[in-house]
Chains A and B, each alone.
Chain A
Amino acid sequence: MELTATQAQFTTLLDNDVLARLEKMRLMPRRRLTNRSRGEHHAAKGGTSTEFADYRDYVAGDDVRYVDWNIFARLERPYVKLYRHEEEMHVVSIVDASSSMQFDGKFEKARQLAAAFGLMGLMNVERVSTFVCNHAGREPLFMPPCTGRVSRRRLFDFLEKIEGGGDFPIDQAVEAALRRHRGRGIVVLLSDFLTFGDLERPLNMLFSAGLEVFAVQILAPSEIDPEVTGDIRLVDCESGHTVDVSSAGDLLGIYQEHRLALEEELGILCRQRSGRFLSISSRDPLDWVLFDLLRRKGWAR
């Protein structure tokens, strides 16, 4: 029975009911960063879609087909009707697959969220691409842009097959992804953001590239509330570097201050670039994150 149930799942990343609910959700970017190719997202500039946007005074040279004659009849002045231009939006996910994400289900949570954001993009006829960064110095794993419902299988297969491990810092990973990426839209950063590098530069690059940042910090419970005490030697799983800490239990208060300060700093960096930031625990239920938290934060509807 269990085998049958497993085979019935569309993907191992998300349950079918979650998939069903996700298909009805739509990303809510603050900025309308779209591509010129036609899509289902209204562009900021006027367009030729059927959805009315505004009126403006008629000027010489305008196509008279867009003059609203009803208004002209009542006001005796010509006004031109403006329609929204629906363009395609790019949804790119950059997944941190380094060794630091291999703790306590962080990477698993990142893959699920990447699948969820990608599915929302696909179901809204956006161009969806995914970068997975693990080993520094190598090109990130890349799933080329795809669109449409038919690309779901491709997206899930890509995310299911990727393996974690490596030492790719998230700041360098963003730069490496941007070297290949073309298109405006939304970039979903899925990482723990625990890096020694500078995050301001990659965020600026994303902003310049016309990508609205949706940054999700995924931390393990042992990072949110570490239970350490006494004299210990901490080993960085990526670099192998060590730090000796004495009376670690007495430093937990300062650790929490620094962790919260990092969250605050990341949030400020994102907001200053019209982006969004969210910090979750790898133990947080996926349903709650997708259907409660994202909606309350206005990331999707």
Chain B
Amino acid sequence: MSWWPFIANQWAWLFLLLVPLVIFYFLKLKRPRLDIPSLALWRSVLNDQRVNSPFQRFKRNILLLLQILLLVCLVLAAMQPFVPSGADRANYLPILIDTSASMAAVDGEGRSRLDEAKLEVRKLIDNLLPDQRLCLISVSSSARQLTDFTDNQRVLRDALDRLEVSQVASRLEDALRMTQALARTVPIETAVLYSDGNVPAEIDFELPFQLNYQQLPPAGKNIGITALNARRSDTRWDVFVRVEGTKAAPGVDEPPTSAGVALLQNGKELANEMISLAAGQSQRIVFPVETAGAGMLEVRLKPEGFDALASDNIAYLDLPVGRPLAVFCPVELESYRHALRGNKDVLLYPSGEGESKAASYDLVITDRKVDADLEAATFLFVGIVPDDLAKLVHMEEALAQVIDWQRSTPLLQHVLLTDLQIADRPVSAEGVRDRDYEDLGYEILAQGRTGPLVLRKESAGRTALYILFHTDRSTLPYRVGFPILVSNAVQIAMQQAGLSEIRGQQTGVLPPRNLKPETVYQVQAPDGSVSEAPSATDGTLSGVAAPAIGRYTIREGSTSVASIGVSLLTVSETSLATVEQLQFRELSVGVAGTMLKSDHPLWGAFAAVGFVLLLVEWWYFQRRPVRAQRST
């Protein structure tokens, strides 16, 4: 343990150079010769007690002293001392930088939170010691490793300069898992997170290392659009816009913020409304839009006064073409067809007017396995056990009762299943638990005594609802809730088809689209960049990243296939709410009391002092030429 921390202690042997320095100084000292008449006076001067005093001895060899100091400074610079920050030093330090949308929020000086984070990280990079390696990781809805663990300050600075805000919400799990993965290759004891605090408070992750949570100073007040959706009402759409603002700081009475909300359709303004929003409150505005065809809506918020975040002031909504719901239901299921006929927005197949089938359906209600091949977004299978559940459950001819059901699930909302008599009894195989169904992607909506009664499975833009027992062999069709059940299925299908209610798309990933199978599409981002995305074998185009706010255009060659507008629409990001405590599975991490201080290297200071000593020595040696009258 040394009294002063050095990085390169091995260079201490350079102090041995002091010995040859002193030797060579006295051996090789080049003194200018000066002939004088007699040394008598100078001898007596040098014999004077004052000349030989310690101070005068020091002055006599001041050049040697300067050279020793110069060498000491250079050796110390080579040993690379540093001022310890007081914190434990980490040789490998991952830096997690929040780049979510809220990091673009600016303060009164116009500096964004990301700029603040960059300033802090740049200090770390500037004070990087040679044995330290930093790794920059961008954290938004996903994680992105910007650099490997490196001590190359140029690489780190370049990566930091390229860092930009992603218009998505924060999600820390990916970044922490990435750090965990990095910890398998290098020893990581601590990771540093720079964030504005606008992150989820609960994180499903077990921290294998310490997390230093550095919260940046808060930004100013903000107002933004947090929700945009539309609901079909007969021949028109009701567009709902929710605008929220940040909460005022405790003890601060902030005046309400005024803003104008404009609704535009295909670039043309349809409506405009002024709102006044108190701090921390929200307001919903409804705009009726009379249209039967498709339309691209755009809502713009124009705050009056300071607004920290600009990205949440715009939102997009794509209205679909209005049409009736295409439902296929075999004639054998008369009870369902009867219930469907009461809904005027439903086009029932096969109809009694000769139309036996359509190219695609929005909803298929069937008790035949063969109808599973029909092209539809929503299926309601009655009395059918899926093939992948054949090993888990089988049907027995016995009475069954509903033990419990999810009353809030869309299919069973307002449907009372109490005392329902069922002649078919689903029986789970021995040892099969609910977890086994969930592992296969099924969600149990209604549970019988011996096994599940109603299941739901979501896959690739397709919703499949399974009623394992046949309703004709139960009292369900005679219950008041049966038409409600059918109506719920229709509502699910309408939502799935986007016919009844649509929501504005959030940034992150574009919603899946059913397009041509195995076709490569070009996706043009709002900034004009184009990327390619292939569709799957079933024609589903999914997983297209949409980190920026604006319209994404999907093209097949030069033909535009779809245009999807995405916007932030996140309450947490707009509210700029901060989390003081991150709750992990087993522990919680609070905000660090002070900003992270890095070890301050001193080699530069020692090198500068050495340079100054060199100049002083040069000046001292050359300050005045020796002048004396020579003999003639």
A residues touching B (Cβ–Cβ < 8 Å)? 99-104, 106, 192, 194-196, 220-223, 226-239, 241-251, 254-255, 258-259, 262
Q: Is B38 close to A, CB under 8 A?
A: yes
Interface residues of B in 615-632 (CB under 8 A from A): 620-621, 623-624, 626-629, 631-632
Cα distance, A99 to B32, chains bound together (Å): 21
Given contacts A194-B37, A196-B40, contact A220 B32 (CB under 8 A): no
Bound complex: CA of A101 vs CA of B632, how far in Å? 11
Contacts of B632 in A (CB 8 A): 102
Residue on B with the closest CB to A103?
Answer: B37
The residue of chain A having its C-beta at the shortest distance from the C-beta of B624 within the complex is: A229
Please state if A258 and B44 are interface contacts (CB–CB under 8 Å): yes
Q: Which of B54-62, B136-144, B307-315 contacts A (4 or more CB under 8 A)?
A: B54-62
Q: For residue B62, which residues in chain A have a CB less than 8 angstroms away from its CB?
A: 246-247
In the complex, what's the smallest C-beta–C-beta distance from A269 to chain B, in angstroms?
15
Any chain A CB within 8 A of the CB of B370? Answer: no
Q: Is the CB–CB distance between B32 and A254 below 8 Å?
A: no
Nearest CB in chain A to that of B64: its residue: A246
Sorting the interface of chain B by its residue count into under 10, 10 to 19, 20 to 34 or 35 or more gives: 35 or more
Known pairs A238-B38, A250-B59 / 17 extra A-B pairs, C-beta < 8 Å? A102-B37, A220-B629, A226-B628, A228-B627, A231-B63, A232-B34, A232-B626, A233-B31, A233-B33, A235-B34, A237-B35, A244-B31, A247-B59, A248-B626, A249-B624, A251-B51, A255-B42
Q: Which residues on A sit within 8 Å (CB–CB) of B59?
A: 246-247, 250
Closest approach, in angstroms, between the C-beta of A70 and any C-beta of chain B?
63
Instruction: Name the residue among B35, B36, B44 with the largest chain A CB count within 10 angstroms.
Output: B36
A241 to B631: give the CA distance in the assembly, Å: 17
Q: How far is the CA of A250 from the CA of B50 in the complex (A)?
A: 11
Which 6 A-B residue pairings sit nearest by Cβ, starting from the closest?
A: A246-B60, A194-B38, A100-B37, A233-B31, A222-B629, A236-B39
Residues of B with C-beta under 8 A to A227: 626-628
Q: How far, in whole Å, are A244 and B37 apart by their CA atoms in the complex? A: 15
A101 and B37 contacting across the interface, CB-CB below 8 Å:
yes
Min CB gap A103→B, angstroms:
5
Chain A residues with CB under 8 Å of B39's CB are 234, 236, 239, 241, 243
Query: Does A100 contact B38, Cβ atoms closer than 8 Å?
Result: yes
B45 & A235 in contact (Cβ 8 Å cutoff): no
List A contacts of B61 (CB < 8 A).
246
* 8 Å CB interface, B212-227 against A: none
Bound complex: CA of A99 vs CA of B35, how far in Å? 11
> Judging by beta carbons under 8 Å apart, are B45 and A251 in contact?
yes
In the bound complex, how far is the Cα of B39 from the Cα of A229, in angstroms?
A: 16
Contacts A220-B629, A222-B629, A230-B626; A243 near B46 (Cβ below 8 A): yes
Residue of A nearest to B44 (CB): A258
Q: What's the Cα separation between A246 and B64 when bound, in Å?
A: 11
Q: 22 A-B Cβ contacts within 8 A?
A: A100-B37, A101-B37, A102-B631, A103-B37, A103-B629, A221-B629, A222-B628, A222-B629, A227-B627, A229-B624, A230-B624, A231-B29, A235-B33, A235-B35, A238-B37, A243-B39, A246-B61, A247-B62, A251-B46, A254-B50, A259-B41, A262-B44
Given contacts A100-B37, A196-B40, A243-B43, contact A232 B631 (CB under 8 A): no
Which B292-334 residues have a C-beta within 8 angstroms of A? none
B234 at the interface (CB under 8 A from A): no
Q: How far is the CB of B392 from chain A (nearest CB, A)?
A: 100
Contact check, B38 vs A236: say whether CB atoms are below 8 A apart.
Answer: yes
